[in-house]
Chains A and B, each alone.
Chain A
């Protein structure tokens, strides 16, 4: 009984094999991390995989294999999130170095006095405080949803080459084009809609550990949660390599430059607000000038 629990599931085995083929060290089983961190990351993994399993099938969605999210074992500094598939599963993978980098970015943001002042929050002095946790959860959800979108929008099937891979952070040089950049913007926008809806629908679960004033009005909570999400995603986008832009090179990148990407992301967020929280449209135009 003990040994059977240690056997990898079919999804874990397939993920491990496929990412080894892609040049990584395979699946990261998290066993060398602190127990509390293992629990947190496994809990998030289960939540995303459960969400994949429950996801409604929209007629517009491309046919895709069963989805599976896991962590990639990669060398230090290899920061990437990837959508890819083998013959049996559609994978969403994220390297542990990117998970840690995202966590650190959220820590830096949570200790920024100007940012806390603008958000009107006063997190505790702990290195990894409750604001860091809220930002990190928002951000990881966005990254997973972004890679999920590449699958359900059929982007991988449209690739003309055989790599069957969409990667997020690593800069593979000027090998992209406007079509690739548009797919990235589409993935950002679709992810924003789903994650914002999730954050706002389930925010009651956040409130106890965010330690907000119980009398905080719903309108202010709306502003806070939108602020968390935009801030976390902006911090993430700033992680990408930022080459000097020229009129020629900008059309040959795989992703739009951060400032352009952020601009289009904010348009999508404004669109979500227009449909779901019209009062927030003015708030974001006042608070988020790029």
Chain B
């Protein structure tokens, strides 16, 4: 489904290749370090936001 979505939106102007390049970068060692930094950052954000230490309290809908 992601592929169909990507192709429907990016079929013009070389967009598919841009997407493929991003995937290639993110699966590299540098990309893995970047993803880990974001993952740690989001976890820290959730702990600090609203002074709550419970992750699900932050994103749970009403």
Contacts and interface: CB of A to CB of B under 8 A. Distances in A.
Interface of A: 56, 58-61, 105, 108-109, 111-112, 114-115, 118-119, 153, 178-179, 181-183, 185-186, 189-190, 193-194, 196-197, 227, 230-231, 234-235, 238-239, 242, 244-245, 247, 250-251, 256-260, 262-264, 268, 271-272, 275-276, 287-290
Contacts of A111: 8
B11 to A, nearest CB: 9
A242 B59 contact: no
Contacts of A262: 2
Interface string B1-21: 111111111100001001101
Interface of B: 1-10, 15, 18-19, 21-23, 25-26, 30-31, 34-35, 37-38, 41-42, 45-46, 49-52, 56-62
Contact of B42 (A115, A182, A227, A244): A182
A153 B7 contact: no
A222 B52 CA distance: 31
B61 A193 contact: yes
Nearest to B17: A242
Contacts of B25: 245, 250, 257
- Chain B interface, DSSP helix/strand/loop, else mixed: helix
Contacts of B45: 182-183, 186
A111 B58 CA distance: 37
B1 A230 contact: yes
Contacts of A197: 61-62
Given A257-B25, A264-B38, 7 more contacts: A60-B58, A178-B37, A182-B45, A189-B59, A250-B30, A257-B22, A259-B22
A275 B62 CA distance: 12
A60 B57 contact: yes
